[in-house]
Amino acid sequence: MLDYIKGTISELTPTYAVLETNGLGYYINITLPVFTNLQGKSESKLLVYEVIREDAHSLYGFATQSERQLFLLLISVSGIGANTARMIMSSYSAQELQEMIATGNVAALNSIKGIGAKTAQRIIVDLKDKIVKISAGDGNINLSAFTESGVRDEAVQALVQLGFAAVASQKTVQQILKSEANIKVEQLIKLALKMM
């Protein structure tokens, strides 16, 4: 089993990267955060996970150990394959996904393309305890986000009810909360409306 591949980036797209090492080019499926991380670099080291099936042999690449660990947890959930897990991890950062699962935020997971309400609930039921244990061990989850989550969720829900897309609403609200953590819901919604 491969643990990582280090080499020259010979091709980079939002969905895959080709890393060349010792004359071999490895086609590695990546998420959008990994794509962003690799932009502008000529060389990289990606942690990998191999998926071997009868009809395919695929590699999935990650920038950090926590990203790979989250991917492995996601594919352990019934009904979630490697490509669906990649879609989930392209929609949010590993940190945001861990917070969503730990706080039981079904609405946020449900807003990801291809993830229905039942699948979102299954992810939370299957992974909530595991995510909290992992995070307690390495401090990945930002506990202040738990207190923000009520304000964030309420603001996102209001924006969705006003007709804005859930993903766009969440990203805008999250952007505002980064600079103004102690903002009230009404102010948060007003600022978000100006930005959308």
- What's the CATH code of the domain at 189? 1.10.8
pLDDT score of 143 more than 60: no
Measured between alpha carbons, how far is 180 from 21 in angstroms, rounded to an integer?
A: 45
Here the CATH number for the domain that contains residue 97 is 1.10.150.20
Mean local confidence (pLDDT), 151-158: 78
Domain shared by 78 and 131, yes or no: yes
- How many CB atoms within 10 Å of residue 130? 15
Average pLDDT over residues 120-138: 76
Q: Are 142 and 100 in contact (CB under 8 A)?
A: no
- 152 and 167 in a common domain: yes
Of 26, 103, 30, 100, whose CA–CA distance to 68 is shortest? 30
- What pLDDT score was predicted for residue 147? 42
| Three-point CA angle 160, 175, 46, nearest 5° | 110
Q: What is the mean pLDDT of residues 21-28?
A: 95
55: domain CATH number? 2.40.50.140
CA 63 – CA 144 distance, rounded (Å): 25
Question: Could you give the residue ranges of the DSSP H alpha helices within the chain?
Answer: 32-38, 65-75, 82-91, 94-103, 106-110, 117-138, 144-161, 166-179, 185-195
Instruction: Please tell me whether residues 25 and 11 are part of one structural domain.
Output: yes
Note whether 164 and 117 are same-domain residues. no
What's the whole-number mean pLDDT along residues 151-162?
A: 78
- pLDDT class for 21, splitting at 50, 70, 90? very high
- Do 24 and 39 fall into the same domain? yes
- The 10 Å CB-count burial string (b at 16+, else e) for 148-184 is bbebbbebbebbbeeebebbbbbbbbbebbeeeeebe
- The residue segments making up the domain with residue 178 are 144-195
**Are residues 72 and 114 located together in one domain of the fold?**
yes
DSSP one-letter code for 31: -
The pLDDT assigned to 140 comes to 47
Q: What digits encode the pLDDT tens for the residues 72-88?
A: 999 999 889 999 999 99
Q: How many domains does the chain have?
A: 3
Res 141 pLDDT > 50: no
Check whether residue 81 and residue 54 sit in a common domain. Answer: no
